[in-house]
Amino acid sequence: MDLEEITSILRLIKLNPLSIVGIAIVATFITLGIISPYIVPYPADAWGYSYNLETRLLPPSSKYLFGTDEMGRDLFSRVLLGTRFSLIIAIGVVGIALAIGIVVGLIAGYMGGSIAMILMRITDMFLAFPPLLLAIAFAATLGRGLVNVIIALALSWWPWYARLIYIQVNSVKNLPFIDAARVIGLSTTKIMFRHILPNSLTPIIIQAALDMGSAILEAAGLSFLGIGVPPPIPEWGLLISQGWALINRAWWLSLFPGIAIVITVIGFNLLADTFQEIMDPRLRSTMVMRGI
């Protein structure tokens, strides 16, 4: 990417305030995800190592920004630490799904023939499930746990990438430069990863950015259904569902973790919109936004 390109991208971003908002949200989210364990005001509260009879169910105040829960813990600390777990989930899910998807999509796209048919038929079978439903099935079978949630979501997600990459590879593989690479005798793997993959990445990056947000949303959904991350991990969906039990008395317990989810996911969605505008405006409206 040369200087000219970068400046033109910057100009585009500058034109759209929503893009700036998106980038700011995502940057903040990632930063907090990394540093939150070191900056939470009440670390013992955040990790669930403490309780306090005197401070049960206090409404938001300057001392406890988001109020306190039924164990007398500071909710702000817990929500803040929750960014770390949401970040882990987002990266874990998209990372694993992407890895499987890329391998399957590349092989199917490049090899073609019956291998492609078999692989894409398998992909189609997975895609026949409504989103999240398959993740529910996997999560219910695997049992509760942070890692299990990530695996369950990734297993239900890779086909989206596999198909996307398959389509991309098909559109790229007969271009002249690939033929040229083949003629000079480069190995198949090399062609796939050095030449085809980089040229098919654009829509995948957009989808991945979009999916970071969706991963957070869907993990929260699993937690709400009781098959997600176990307590005392302060995952946002779990905080909401625990707050539900006390919502008539302490509305803040469900409100704030939910706001955290909404803001983060909006950030990723806006970011994806921005990528789309920059990289390939023609893709407008072909992307699927996931949601719960």
Applying CB under 8 A, among 201, 255, 278, 279 the residue interacting with another protein is 255
* Cα 6 to Cα 87: distance, rounded to the nearest angstrom: 27
> Furthest-apart CA pair in the chain: how many Å?
76
Residue 230, interface with another protein (CB under 8 A)?
A: yes
Residue 51, interface with another protein (CB under 8 A)?
A: yes
Applying CB under 8 A, among 37, 60, 95, 232 the residue interacting with another protein is 232
Q: Following DSSP, what letter does each residue of 23-50 receive, concatenated?
A: HHHHHHHHHHHHHHHHH-S-HHHHHT--
Distance from chain centroid for Cα 4: 31
Nearest distance, CB of residue 233 and another protein, angstroms: 11
Residue 244, interface with another protein (CB under 8 A)?
A: yes
Cβ-based neighbours of 56, under 8 Å, separated by 6 or more? 68, 69, 70, 71, 72
Residue 47, interface with another protein (CB under 8 A)?
A: no
Residue 89, interface with another protein (CB under 8 A)?
A: no
The radius of gyration computed from the CA coordinates of the chain, to the nearest angstrom, equals: 22
* Per-residue mark of binding to another protein, 144-173 (x: CB under 8 A): x-----------------------------
Residue 124, interface with another protein (CB under 8 A)?
A: yes
Residue 15, interface with another protein (CB under 8 A)?
A: no
230: DSSP letter: P
Question: Binders of another protein: how many residues, by CB under 8 A?
Answer: 70
Residue 265, interface with another protein (CB under 8 A)?
A: yes
Helix (H, G, I), strand (E, B) or coil at 273: helix
Determine the interface stretch with another protein among 80-88, 109-117, 130-138, 185-193 (rule: CB under 8 A): 130-138
* Cα 190 to Cα 184: distance, rounded to the nearest angstrom: 12
228: DSSP letter: S
Cβ-based neighbours of 194, under 8 Å, separated by 6 or more? 181, 186
Positions that interact with another protein (CB under 8 A): 18, 48-51, 53, 56-57, 70-72, 121, 124-126, 128-134, 136-138, 140-144, 213, 217, 220-221, 224-227, 230-232, 237, 240-242, 244-251, 254-255, 258, 261-262, 265-266, 269-270, 273, 284-285, 288-292
